[in-house]
Structure 1
Amino acid sequence: MLRRFTRIMAENVAKRLKTDAGTGAGIKIGTHNGHFHADEALAVYMLRRLVPTYADATLVRTRDPAVLATCHTVVDVGGEYDPSRHRYDHHQRSFTTTFPGRSATKLSSAGLVYMHFGRSIIARALGRPEANSEDDSDVSLLYRKLYESFVEALDAHDNGVSAYDSAALARAGIEKRFSEGGFTLGALVGRLNPNWNDPLPADPEVAQAQEDDRFIKASERIGEEFKHDLEYYCGAWLPARAIVRDAYEARFRHDPEGRVMVFEGQSVPWKDHLYTLEEEQEQKEGTTNTSKQKILYVLYPEKPAPGARWRIQAVPVSKDSFESRKALPEPWRGARDEQLDEVSGVPGGVFVHASGFIGGNKTFEGAKELAAKACAF
């Protein structure tokens, strides 16, 4: 029901935009002035750079209700969420909207704009008809993927939602070992705000113009990151899906228990797709696979050329984890060349990383034998 409601709203927004654009009047996008954040910076970028109707839109940064009322579209200010009037604020007390299928994180202005325009943005990036974006399975897949991998972090950051339950971490006694440098998507934009003690021009109009210039730079910066992800997922990640599926379905050719997956021609981005395929397999079989029943090692050539060396990589327990489901055997770790041949008993060794997450051999046969021994170790 929610998905249908969201689809209808998005379709109506697109239709109204085409009608509005036909007037020939210049479109104005309004957002607040003052300290800027990643959510409205991305929202403005998506509209001005990725939605053709807004290509020549003027940006107005103000909190004056009278000025905002003259704007065609308003994001992150105004206390109103009404897509029928192109109003996309999330600060009002009554606002509870989340992305379809993601109930934990309230939307920010970035999430709101993405929810309504994301499908058409993706359809254009794929070179497919926008009119069919609701029924295109690839568009639907990427619509969810881009939200989860990029936009949701901005929604969470702006709404004060932590990636982890701080109370649960405290109960478990888990503390960070080091600072990550604060280089998050939010920080990417936040650091472009002026410092508290930067001198301000005496003329308020000049000061506002300088602040607006900073915001435009911030919007372009976060937008380029989003565009990079959009192009990556449309142009590289999605085409890899079929290749990973073929390799996954052929896993029993290389190991009787299906623990080794091989890319025979060229390696592709495989982690996301592998985890999804394993989940689909579990749902199909109605079982929960143990680590022994899942893929433990992935083999692939270093480059798509005859005589290329081969890599053996241990599958992580999760996409961003440094922990492997089954790291390569401890006696092999840190060994190279002849030393690796000796400790592994497999000729043609190149190296095994000190952590055991990856290794190499001069031939496919050697890499496959390393995998077989590692599975049995």
Structure 2
Amino acid sequence: MKVVTHSGTFHADDVFAFSILREALGTFDFTRTRDTALIDAADLVFDVGGVYDIARGRYDHHMRDLPRRPDGTPYSSVGLIWRDFGRNALPNLAPGIDEDLLDVVWQDIDNGFVLAIDQADNGVASVSQGHLSLLIEAFNPTWAGDQSYDDAFLEAADFARGILFRACRQAHAEAQAQSSVLSAARKAQDPRIIVLNRKLPWEKAVFEGGLRDLLFIIYPNEDTTSWYCRTVPPEPNSFGQRLSLPEAWRGLQEEEFSRIAGIADGVFCHPGGFICGARSQESAVMLAEKAIAAGQ
């Protein structure tokens, strides 16, 4: 397969598009050029050529009638390539990904990582210092250097691949966590309390999964020597609580906390009333149940 993009100065969209294609297609004949004959002879062309035609493998976006996302945001080459090749790339970018999580992870990367590059490349969003797009552009050779643009492009693509790999792995882990939380919710005896067998991110599952009755999450610390009873906030990234822990528990530790809370192995209760802990799962669940009873 012959793949072509433009020569000369590169940007984040063409660099990341190339990185995605490498993971999706494997080995291919790659050329950076603006030679019309070479562009016409290629099997797949992105970010150059003035043509957007999926059937012909043409993925440029530099025309008046440029391709747009459903919400009207203009695509850049990375958005187009991710849309059509991202799912095929994901098994290499998120090793071990299950088939049923492909679309979830693909959408997560598209909504954040890829969309941000589309917006920056098309001037839809402002680009501040340190933006990913500027980091990629910094790989372009300086006037005082002797590195070729093609060599610099490949160096930038290797850098981009590392970023993309980490982003996809994180999105995959988040999707797995969401699946685990929703599974635990389905098995819960009381919809107000969920018990997780390990510490993992749970807020996205709560709010996107519609767990409106949930009040407390029970989970172990990293070494499972104690268990947390964490209140659920009313909205994402908030320290508020749908139901606060009892005022009488707050700021207490060890024996005093155990005595006031009525359990045998209490560890602490945060003064803010949003988290407390015990040394056993059973006691952590009991703390949740006692907090619910006190709040009724």
Q: What residue in structure 1 maps to residue 167 of structure 2?
A: 229
- Segments of 5+ residues of structure 1 without an aligned counterpart are 1-20, 22-26, 164-180, 280-292
Write the letter of the residue equivalent to 2:58: R
Aligned length: 291
Q: How far 1:296 sits from its partner (Å)?
A: 2.5
**Does the residue aligned with 1:266 lie in a helix, a strand or coil?**
coil
2:280 pairs with one of 363, 372, 377: 363
**Does the residue aligned with 2:74 lie in a helix, a strand or coil?**
coil
1:260 pairs with one of 174, 181, 193: 193
1:372 pairs with one of 270, 284, 289: 289
Q: How far 1:341 sits from its partner (Å)?
A: 4.4
Q: What residue in structure 2 maps to residue 277 of structure 1?
A: 209
Q: How far 1:44 sits from its partner (Å)?
A: 0.8
Q: How far 1:267 sits from its partner (Å)?
A: 3.7
2:234 pairs with 1:301: no
**Does the residue aligned with 2:229 lie in a helix, a strand or coil?**
strand
**Does the residue aligned with 1:92 lie in a helix, a strand or coil?**
coil
- Segments of 5+ residues of structure 2 without an aligned counterpart are none
Q: What residue in structure 2 maps to residue 220 of structure 1?
A: 158
Contact 1:30 1:71 in 2 (8 A): no
Q: What residue in structure 2 maps to residue 110 of structure 1?
A: 78
Q: What residue in structure 2 maps to residue 250 of structure 1?
A: 187
Q: How far 1:43 sits from its partner (Å)?
A: 0.4
1:186–1:352 CA distance, 2 compared to 1 (3 A): farther
2:103 pairs with 1:140: yes
Query: d(CA) in 1 for partners of 2:179 and 2:138?
Result: 40
Q: What residue in structure 2 maps to residue 12 of structure 1?
A: none
Per-residue deviation, residues 202-235 of structure 1 (Å, max 9, x unmatched): xxxx45x0x443333332223222223334445x
Q: What residue in structure 2 maps to residue 286 of structure 1?
A: none
Query: d(CA) in 2 for partners of 1:190 and 1:327?
Result: 48
Query: d(CA) in 2 for partners of 1:85 and 1:64?
Result: 18
Write the letter of the residue equivalent to 2:165: K
Contact 2:3 2:42 in 1 (8 A): yes
Query: d(CA) in 1 for partners of 2:269 and 2:11?
Result: 44
Q: How far 1:149 sits from its partner (Å)?
A: 4.0
Query: d(CA) in 1 for partners of 2:14 and 2:114?
Result: 11
1:324–1:68 CA distance, 2 compared to 1 (3 A): farther
CA RMSD in angstroms comes to: 3.7
**Does the residue aligned with 2:45 lie in a helix, a strand or coil?**
strand
Write the letter of the residue equivalent to 1:84: A
Query: d(CA) in 2 for partners of 1:355 and 1:79?
Result: 58
**Does the residue aligned with 1:278 lie in a helix, a strand or coil?**
coil
Contact 1:48 1:57 in 2 (8 A): no
- TM-score after normalising by structure 1: 0.63
Query: d(CA) in 1 for partners of 2:216 and 2:186?
Result: 15
Q: How far 1:108 sits from its partner (Å)?
A: 1.4
Query: d(CA) in 1 for partners of 2:214 and 2:28?
Result: 50
Contact 1:32 1:77 in 2 (8 A): no
- TM-score after normalising by structure 2: 0.77
1:326 pairs with one of 242, 253, 272: 242
Q: How far 1:161 sits from its partner (Å)?
A: 3.5
2:65 pairs with 1:88: no
2:133 pairs with 1:186: yes
Query: d(CA) in 2 for partners of 1:374 and 1:360?
Result: 13
Contact 1:29 1:59 in 2 (8 A): yes
**Equivalent residue runs for 1:159-170 within 5 Å:** 159-162=122-125
Q: How far 1:96 sits from its partner (Å)?
A: 3.7
2:14 pairs with 1:40: yes
Query: d(CA) in 2 for partners of 1:311 and 1:274?
Result: 17
Q: What residue in structure 2 maps to residue 150 of structure 1?
A: 113
Higher relative contact order (CA 8 A, sep 6+): 2
Write the letter of the residue equivalent to 2:5: G
Query: d(CA) in 2 for partners of 1:248 and 1:73?
Result: 46
Per-residue deviation, residues 279-319 of structure 1 (Å, max 9, x unmatched): 7xxxxxxxxxxxxx4322211122476xx310123334555
1:122–1:326 CA distance, 2 compared to 1 (3 A): same
Q: What residue in structure 2 maps to residue 51 of structure 1?
A: 25
Q: How far 1:154 sits from its partner (Å)?
A: 1.9
**Does the residue aligned with 2:210 lie in a helix, a strand or coil?**
helix
Q: How far 1:31 sits from its partner (Å)?
A: 2.9
Query: d(CA) in 2 for partners of 1:317 and 1:226?
Result: 32
